[in-house]
Chains A and B, each alone.
Chain A
Amino acid sequence: MNAWEVVIGIETHVQLATRAKIFSASPIAFGAEANLQANAIDIALPGVLPVLNRTAVEFAIRFGLAAGSEIATRSVFARKNYFYPDLPKGYQISQYEWPVVVGGELTIQAGQESKVIRLTRAHLEEDAGKSLHETAGHSLRGKSGIDLNRAGTPLLEIVSEPDMRSSAEAVAYARALHALVRWIGICDGNMQEGSFRCDANVSVRPAGQTAFGTRREIKNLNSFRFLQQAIDYEVQWRIATLEDGGHIEQATVLFDPDNGETRAMRSKEDAHDYRYFPDPDLLPLFIERDWVEQVHAALPELPAANRQRLLAEYGLSAHDAAVLTSSLEIATYYEATVNAAGKANAKLCANWVMGDLAARLNREGREIDAAPLSASQLGNLLARIADGTISTPVARQVFDALCAGDGTSADEIIASRGLRQISDSDALAKIVDQVLSANMAMVDEFRAGKEKALNALVGQVMKASKGRANPQQVNELLRNKLG
């Protein structure tokens, strides 16, 4: 048996979250009724012309900066010519020889190690419309129905080098890219709605061979799970075929999620001849250094740098840092919480954001940008735990109260409900004495050697004090009194 090496490159079509299309002013909201978001330009009436959307370009610049790529000072739009009913002009406006972004890289976690996946390029282009074979409740009498709402939506096509060597690496790359485009705000990342679509170019070669094997392209994978399954199936099929002495034809391939298999599309013999040429209706796009610098200045700290800083400044674990930088919203919330609570409490903040807050958000089906309490409210609350004003159990009560909107700040609730932790030794001693005299059985058990009885007594003291007793002091007092 030969050892085989798998070689994977990924092309990702990222739908840019602009408000209007790339070459026309139609809106791009998902799910609109058929052809209501298709104007004269999108329908390709005779005589219409394209004009370029500035924000689409800005988003491309953001991406180039985030990926450490080169932003082309001059790039050119080209026509990719082919006939398809969802392509109204009979050509797609794309970029060919001179894309707006060149090079770049993404670092992924491949098992325990980091691996750098290089990018070839990224370019702007327009999306095509959709063909439907039936509509809800109505058959189209054996025809296809064309909806051009999506035609003209701005896309950034990001092409990686064939640097991945397993489906796991491919998925890690796709996830990292997905997180990045969401982080920099250029894409909503909604894969069910088609905002982020991957094509995987897969080939297989005997281990040690430098020449690439024949490549097949698996198109339009819109979930990480499908990406993994499709590549796994394809690789397994490829190896089996080669080992049987079979021959692999280059092909474009679709994945069928129902049976987990890939199959070649109907051959498009002229698929290779797109007759690219610069679009004469558009002029070369010039991007000046000033603009790039402006975009750069407005970019948030990127995830990798953010993660590094959390490790270095706050001493968080790698795992915690990764979770807290899994989206820009979470990272921003966390940072604001630390600002309110004080840097010394960074770990406490991490625990609560990943713990109590996350649990509540999950329960209520909310994202962090709809959190029921603000980061500064949470931070202030945590500061009160840290400075001993309240105990952790009481803090949970205050947390719930803030989430319910029962007060605007932890301090307000603590004051109005008299929740200050009792740390006064005399006051505590009184309560302890009361509890001890009411719970002689537990006292005896503790003296008989049962450690747990102490916890029960602490619990009783907490109950008697309505949670306000300082648990550490109670513990100490009890031990002193009980000997």
Chain B
Amino acid sequence: MIPYKPLPSNTSVIFAMSLTLEQVRRVAQLARIEISDDEANSTLAQLNSIFALIEEMQSVDTQGIEPMAHAQEMMQRLRDDLPDARDSGERRAAFQAIAPETAEGLYLVPKVIE
């Protein structure tokens, strides 16, 4: 795993944020959403107009500003290492009653090939 080296903040990189059809297809595959060519085309126009909106941010100088991930400056709370094994059989039954396909207590999917 290669540690990710972020770009220096406010690099004025020209990312023309308008997508090509190929990029739409690639992103749709990353997101595991099947998209026909027609859909890709009509989505493209809408996506590009949204990207034009987002583009407004790019001209802003944010040198020295820390990204804000959460509303408050808070620390992650820690919980005690106490296992809870209550009603595991009942719970599995309840969870699997709403599953598309199960057998032998397992969730079934098309074969996973490595």
Contacts and interface: CB of A to CB of B under 8 A. Distances in A.
The answer to whether A and B touch in the complex, with CB atoms under 8 Å apart, is: yes
Interface of A: 11, 18-20, 25-28, 33-40, 43, 45, 51-57, 77, 83-86, 96-97, 120-121, 131-133, 135, 138, 140-148, 159, 254, 265-266, 270, 273, 275-276, 278, 280, 282-286
Contacts of B76: 52, 77, 282-286
Nearest first, the 4 A-B pairs at minimum CB distance are: A145-B106, A55-B81, A27-B83, A54-B78
12 contacts: A26-B83, A33-B105, A36-B92, A53-B78, A97-B3, A140-B106, A140-B108, A141-B103, A144-B109, A145-B104, A273-B30, A285-B76
A53 B101 CA distance: 32
A54 B92 CA distance: 27
Contacts of B83: 19-20, 25-28
Nearest to B98: A45
B55 to A, nearest CB: 20
Contacts of B114: 254, 265-266
Given A27-B83, A270-B30, A285-B75, A36 B105 contact: yes
A246 B38 CA distance: 43
Contacts of A83: 32
Contacts of B82: 19-20, 25
Interface in B66-95: 69-70, 74-85, 88-89, 91-92, 95
B101 to A, nearest CB: 8
A52 B25 CA distance: 37
Contacts of A266: 113-114
Max chain B CB contacts within 10 Å: which of A53, A135, A144, A266? A144
B81 A34 contact: no
Contact of A25 (B30, B69, B84, B103): B84
Contacts, number: 135
Contacts of A86: 112
Given A283-B70, A284-B75, A276 B106 contact: no
Contacts of A142: 111
Nearest to A82: B30
B66 to A, nearest CB: 12
Nearest to A265: B114
B111 A143 contact: yes
B107 interface: yes
A25 B32 CA distance: 30
B30 to A, nearest CB: 5
Contacts of B32: 83
Contacts of A56: 81
B110 interface: yes
A145 B107 contact: yes
A276 B107 contact: no
A35 B106 contact: yes
B4 interface: yes
A53 B79 contact: yes
A135 B104 contact: yes
Contacts of B89: 36
Given A36-B89, A147-B106, A19 B95 contact: no
A55 B83 CA distance: 12
Band of interface residues on B: 35 or more
Contacts of B74: 283
Given A36-B105, A55-B81, A143-B109, 4 more contacts: A20-B82, A36-B92, A55-B80, A284-B76
Interface string B1-20: 10110100000000000000
Nearest to B91: A39
B70 A280 contact: yes
Nearest to B32: A83
B29 interface: yes
Contacts of A276: 4
Given A35-B92, A138-B104, A54 B81 contact: yes
B42 to A, nearest CB: 24
A266 B111 CA distance: 14
A270 B29 contact: yes
A144 B1 contact: no
Interface string B33-70: 00000000000000000000000000000000000011
Contacts of A19: 81-83
A52 B77 contact: yes
B109 A146 contact: yes
Contacts of A28: 83
Nearest to A285: B76
A143 B108 contact: yes
A77 to B, nearest CB: 8
Contacts of B84: 20, 25-27, 39
Contacts of A36: 88-89, 92, 105
B49 to A, nearest CB: 23
Contacts of B78: 52-54, 57
Contacts of A33: 105
Contacts of B111: 133, 142-144
Contacts of A85: 107, 109, 112
Contacts of A40: 95
A56 B81 CA distance: 8
Contacts of B103: 138, 140-141, 145
Contacts of A278: 69
Nearest to A263: B114
Nearest to B107: A146
